[in-house]
Chain A
Amino acid sequence: MVWARGLRKSYGDLEAVRGIDLDVRPGEAFGFLGPNGAGKSSTMRMIAAVSPPSAGELMILSMDPTTHGPQIRARLGVCPQDDTLDNELNVRDNLMVYGSYFGMRKAEVAARADELLDFVQLRDKAKGKVEDLSGGMKRRLTIARSLINDPDLMLLDEPTTGLDPQARHLLWDRLFRLKARGVTLVLTTHYMDEAEQLCDRLVVMDGGEIVAAGSPLELIRAHSTREVAELRFGVGDNEQNAELVADLAPRVEVLPDRLLLYTDDGEATLAQVHERGLAPMAVLVRRSTLEDVFLRLTGRTLVE
C-alpha cells in the first residue's frame, strides 16, 4: 500500500524526515509513534500525495505521487490533524461538497453521506451547524468526510489528540470497524496506549528517523523488560535513592517525579527495595508499555 526507501523531507536547512524505509501491507493498521517534531506529520503529508518528497523513493498504492497525485488521492481518505471542516455548511453538506470533489454523482454522495453519518453516529446532527459540534463529533465528521470516496487507504494524523477519554474510545471503536472491513489504516500518534490499541505494526520515530519497528509486543520484548516497578520518593530524593537501588534491576531510569526499575519480576524487586529499608511514598508494579520502549530508545518520554 505504501512503500518507501530512503524517504526524506527538508524545509530549507531543517531536515524533518531523514531517510526512512516503509512497507505498509494491505489491511493492516500501521502506526507512526513519536513525540511532536519527530517527522510524523511531514511523512503523512508525503504519503497523502500532497507534499513532494525531497529525496528517496515513495510509492503509494503502487503509484508514484509526483506523477499520479490526483489518481492516488482519489483512493485515499485523509483525516488531518487540524480541523478543515467548513463551518459555514451544515454537517451533511460538508460531506456533500466533499463528495463532489471526487466526481461522485449527487445521488451517490447523498446515499453515502447518510450511511456515513450513521456510521459515525451523527445522523441526528445532519442539519446542524459544524460550529455547534463537540471536538469528538468534529473529528468523527472529519472521518466520515474522509470515507466519502470509499478509500482503500486511510491516513489519520493524530486522530484523538485533544479529545476526552470517552470520545477517544468511541473513535477507536469506529476505526476498529473500518479495519474489520479491510480498510488499511495509517496513523500517527504520540499516545502509546493508542498505538498499542490500534496498531498491528508501528515504527517509532525520533528526530526524523525510524529508531525501531515491529508489532507493539515485539517492540516491548525487544527493548524492555516484562515488568516495571515504579517508585516515587519525595521531590528531589529520586536521584539519591536511584543509587541505592541501582543494582536491583538491569536498568533504572530516573524521571523527575519517579524511578523506573526495569525487571522481569516487579513484585520481587519491590520486596528487595523494602528489605533495604527504603520507603517510597508510592509504588506501582506494571507491565512494560511502548512508553518504556520509547524512553529506552530515545532517553525521553513521549508526552512531555
Chain B
Amino acid sequence: MAPAAVLSTVTSAVPSWEMVARQRVYWATVYRRTWKGSVFTSFVLPLFYVVAMGVLLGRFVDAGGGSLDGAPSYLSFVAPGLVASYSMQVAMGETTWPVMGMIKWSRTYYAMTASPLAVADIVAGQLLYVMFRTASTGAVFLLVMSPFGVFDSWVGVLLAWPVTVLVGLSFAGVFTAYAASVNSDTAFLVVYRLLVVPLFLFSGAFFPIGNLSAPLQWVARATPLWHGVDLVRMLVLDDVQVGAALVHLGYLVLLSLVGWVLAVWRLGKRLEV
C-alpha cells in the first residue's frame, strides 16, 4: 500500500465517539443475555487453573528447586502468566465467532451500517466491549487469586489489571480483522490450535522462557503474549525493570493500534461493497 493510502486507512479508523456511545443499548443487551454464564466461568475457571497448575503442579516444581525468574514459588510464578493468557483467550472468544456471526449469521453489522453508524464506530463499539469483558474477567481472576498470597504488591496488581486489558485488546483487533477476512469458522480452529494454544503454552506463562533453546527464546520474545505475561509478572511480584517494562508496554500499545486499524480496514472491505 502507498503511504497516502495507509494514512487514509489510519484516519478513517478514528470513530465518532457520539456514534460509539449510541451502541451502548445494543452491547448492554448482549451482555445481559450472556453475563450469567460468563460470571460463572470467569470465577470458576481461574480457580481450576490456580489449583491445578499453581498449587498441585507447583508442589513438584518447587520441590525440584528450579530457578523461576525471581518468583518465590511456582504458584506466584504461574499466576500472573495465567491472568495474561486468560485475557488473550477471552479476547479470542469475544471476537472470532461473534464477529463472523454478526457478518454472516445474525447479520447485525449490516443492520448497523444501514443506520448512521460507520464501520469505524462499529469496530470501536466491538473493541470497547471486548475491553469491558477482559477488564471484568481480569478483575475476577485477580480477586480469585489474591487469597493464595501470590501478589507482592497491591499497587502492582492495580497496574497489572489494565495491562491484562491491553493484552486482550492487542489480540482483539487482529482477531476482528481476521474474522472479517475469512469465510468459514473452521479458520478459527486453525488459529486456536496453531496460534493461541502454542502462545498459551510457550510464552512464559508456565516456565521461564530461558528454558527454551536460544532461537525459540527469540520467537517467544517476539510474541505479544510474552510481553504481556512478563509485564504482569513484573508488576504483581514488585520486580519492575523500567526499560523492559516500557518495551512491553510499547509493544502492546502498538499492536493494539495496528490491530484496531486492521479491523476497521478489513470490516470495511467486507461490509462496504
Is A76 part of the contact surface with B, judged by Cβ < 8 Å? yes
Contact A100 B114 (CB under 8 A): no
Q: Which of B110, B111, B116 contacts A102 (CB 8 A)?
A: B116
Give A99 Cβ to nearest chain B Cβ, in Å: 8
Contact B112 A52 (CB under 8 A): no
Contact B111 A98 (CB under 8 A): yes
Q: Which of A50, A85, A97, A149 contacts B113 (CB 8 A)?
A: A50
Is B223 part of the contact surface with A, judged by Cβ < 8 Å? no
Q: Which of B23, B29, B118, B273 contacts A70 (CB 8 A)?
A: B118
Q: Given the complex, which residues of A lie within 8 Å of B118, measured CB to CB?
A: 69-70
Give A208 Cβ to nearest chain B Cβ, in Å: 15
Contact B110 A80 (CB under 8 A): yes
Is B19 part of the contact surface with A, judged by Cβ < 8 Å? yes
Contact B114 A48 (CB under 8 A): yes
Number of interface residues of B (CB under 8 A): 25
Complex: A301 Cα to B29 Cα, angstroms: 47
Is B25 part of the contact surface with A, judged by Cβ < 8 Å? yes
With both beta carbons as reference points, the residue of chain A lying nearest to B34 in the complex is identified as A88
**What 1/0 flags go to B96-122 for Cβ under 8 Å of A?**
000000000011101111111110000
Give B199 Cβ to nearest chain A Cβ, in Å: 31
Contact A51 B272 (CB under 8 A): yes
Contact A84 B116 (CB under 8 A): no
Which of B23, B24, B114 lies at the interface centre, i.e. has the most chain A CB atoms within 10 A of its CB? B114
Contact A86 B108 (CB under 8 A): yes
Contact A78 B107 (CB under 8 A): no
Q: Which of B16, B22, B29, B108 contacts A84 (CB 8 A)?
A: B108
Q: Given the complex, which residues of A lie within 8 Å of B112, measured CB to CB?
A: 101
Is B26 part of the contact surface with A, judged by Cβ < 8 Å? yes
Knowing A51-B273, A69-B118, A70-B118, the reply to whether A86 touches B25 (Cβ < 8 A) is: no
Contact A84 B107 (CB under 8 A): yes
Is B33 part of the contact surface with A, judged by Cβ < 8 Å? yes
Q: Which of B111, B114, B117, B272 contacts A76 (CB 8 A)?
A: B114
Complex: A86 Cα to B23 Cα, angstroms: 14
Give B88 Cβ to nearest chain A Cβ, in Å: 26
Complex: A96 Cα to B18 Cα, angstroms: 18
With both beta carbons as reference points, the residue of chain B lying nearest to A78 in the complex is identified as B114
22 contacts between A and B (CB under 8 A): A11-B273, A45-B273, A50-B114, A50-B272, A51-B273, A70-B117, A71-B116, A73-B114, A80-B110, A80-B111, A84-B108, A86-B108, A86-B111, A87-B106, A88-B106, A96-B25, A97-B29, A98-B115, A100-B26, A101-B26, A101-B115, A102-B115
Residue ranges of A at the interface with B (Cβ–Cβ < 8 Å): 11, 45, 48, 50-52, 69-71, 73-74, 76, 78, 80, 82-89, 93, 96-98, 100-103, 145-146, 149
